[in-house]
Chain A
Amino acid sequence: MNTKVTIAGVEFKNPVMSASGTFGSGMEYASLVDLNKLGAVVTKGVSNIPWEGNPTPRVAEVYGGMLNAIGLQNPGVDVFIERDLSFLSKYDTNVIVNVCGKSVEDYIEAVERLNDTNADMFEINVSCPNVKEGAIAFGQKADALFNITDKIKKVSKKPIIMKLSPNVTDITEMAKAAEAAGSDAISLINTITGMKIDIERRKFVLANKTGGMSGPAIKPVAVRMVYQCANAVKIPIIGMGGIMTGEDAVEFLMAGATAVAVGAANFINPSAMIDVIDGIDNYMRKHNVSDINEIIACV
């Protein structure tokens, strides 16, 4: 039975990876999960310099998932390379580094410093506030997305994956812009902007007022968007949003994703990724699927 998939020339032993920001750099979960079993570890977003992130409360539970407004707190790329990437180099798994920034220059600086490391690919989070364009994220305007993809692609020595935000009118426009600018793959979806109000205190639950929703409740939206993008572009797609089980992952593969990422499920069940990997194996065995590539985009 073959579970190997290839994205932009990088081979993955299976199509299951962590969703950025939900698994730290793997270090935090290494005593609970065998990292060698994962297709890849996708690390928490890292920027050129350290970021403080948002005030607390930063997380809230909602029906069927959670909201987060971490604000991309991270120690900066230098500490990250020295500590987190060297930790991950001990494991037999691919490493995808998620990069964030407030301006095109920030992204470029981070990517240039990561170019000569053991990272296999870069995932570019374009849902960060774009300070220069009045805090509208790069991921919400197709021309801004084209521009940043093009600039990063020109300096990156590794394949890049543009990570798309679902908070747009037509996600296929974004997918096409990323492809046209040379992105090697796309990943989707990032979190859906939400809000929760504490009716006893008459206050917002999150200090940031709004937060990104993730977890099982967003899965149908994510599957739909993966399907739409798979029909709009030729580059491979990493699908995510609410994956809890192997069956959920198979749904994304059938919708057109070449690989999948598991996010909030790690909080709900620390062995979620291993369960997803085993669940895909069980599905393949039960349905006599000898090569996982057979089911990708099969619907």
Chain B
Amino acid sequence: MFYRNVDEGKVISQEEISDGIFSLWIKNEGANEAGAGQFVGVYPKDKSTLLMRPISICETDKEAGSMRLVYRVAGKGTKEFSSLKKDDTVKILANLGNGFPVDEVKGKCIVLMGGGIGIPPMLGTAKALFGEDVHSYLGYRNNDTFLSDEFLKYSKVYLASEDGSVGVKGNVLDALRASINVKPDVIMACGPMPMLRAIKKYAEENNIKAYISLEERMACGVGACLGCVCKTVKKDDHSHVNNTRICTEGPVFDATEVDI
């Protein structure tokens, strides 16, 4: 499964699936080796934006040898990516990070949680766990529930929205608390830091194993620059201090091991 290269990706298609959120399919060599929850570094072409942009792999299509990236236009780099068209090429550093431990959780009651732009990697995770007892909790700002239909193919879906316009009013944990019949053994989550902190606390209180995917500013993406660290509870095996590299030991961590 280890694949590391600078791939010359070829754009298969791109569409704006929601306001400012784009879904990009790319054909590249690393696609067939990619695991759920891993990410890639996409290099902008504009020379004023030098560093790669870390974007999670939303899902892969092994037959087509392609991967899907779903991203929000946040600044210059993602703005440039949003203009990519069919047959354009794009340089990507693939594949980065560890991903969710999907093989370790089979046979259990699995809850996936995605908040906002943290939802995309959970789709590929649901796909990898298809056939298992999977419940996806998706949190949105309002009734613009991008990707939620696609989760229905692989799992049960529960929605939450901040403004209450769809699903449970509140966040993904409010939605989980509202579904009294779901008793998770494992939670896997990606989303904003306050959501991940709340999940860590909830999982610890309820004795549930939780895996959370973290985000940090990155330069190299391969573990060399030590730019992307997160505080850890115990001394990290690689760094020998209470810091771990999100790009390499993560982005997915056992929630009890990180100090967030």
Contact = CB atoms under 8 A, between A and B. Distances in A.
Contacts of A269: 6
A29 B240 contact: no
B6 A59 contact: no
B89 to A, nearest CB: 15
Contacts of A23: 224
A267 B226 contact: no
Nearest to B246: A56
A21 interface: yes
Interface stretch (B24-32, B203-211, B212-220): B212-220
Contact of A267 (B220, B242, B243, B248): B220
Nearest to B77: A61
B227 interface: yes
B224 A28 contact: yes
B224 A58 contact: no
Interface residues of A, number: 38
A132 B55 CA distance: 44
A91 interface: no
Given A29-B224, A32-B222, A271-B6, A53 B51 contact: no
Given A56-B217, A65-B50, A24 B224 contact: yes
Contacts of A66: 50-51, 219
A270 B6 CA distance: 8
B241 interface: yes
B113 interface: no
B154 to A, nearest CB: 32
A68 B242 contact: no
> Per DSSP, are chain B's interface residues mostly helix, strand or loop, or mixed?
loop
B93 A51 contact: no
Contacts of A215: 50
A70 interface: yes
B240 A68 contact: no
A57 B216 CA distance: 7
B228 interface: yes
A50 interface: yes
A53 B225 contact: no
B219 A68 contact: yes
B239 A75 contact: yes
A288 B93 CA distance: 36
Contacts of A268: 43, 50-51
Interface in A230-257: none
Interface in B87-146: 93
A28 B220 contact: yes
B192 interface: no
Contact of A58 (B5, B222, B223, B229): B229
Interface string A24-61: 10001101100000000000100000111100111111
A106 B49 CA distance: 38
A57 B242 CA distance: 16
Contacts of B225: 21-22, 24, 59, 68, 70, 267
Interface string B242-260: 1100001000000000000
A52 B242 contact: yes
Contacts of A270: 6, 93, 222
Given A21-B225, A44-B226, A61 B50 contact: yes
A52 B241 contact: yes
Interface in A51-103: 51-53, 56-61, 63-66, 68, 70, 73, 75-76, 79
A266 interface: yes
Contacts of B2: 31
A76 B239 CA distance: 9
Contacts of B153: none
Interface in B1-30: 2, 4-6
Given A57-B217, A59-B217, A66-B51, A50 B241 contact: yes
Given A32-B5, A268-B51, A58 B227 contact: yes
Ranked 6 nearest A-B pairs via Cβ: A24-B224, A75-B240, A59-B227, A28-B224, A28-B223, A31-B4
9 contacts: A50-B239, A53-B241, A56-B216, A57-B217, A61-B51, A66-B51, A70-B227, A75-B238, A267-B50
Given A50-B240, A56-B216, A60-B217, 11 more contacts: A31-B2, A50-B241, A53-B226, A53-B229, A59-B225, A63-B48, A70-B225, A75-B239, A267-B50, A267-B221, A270-B222
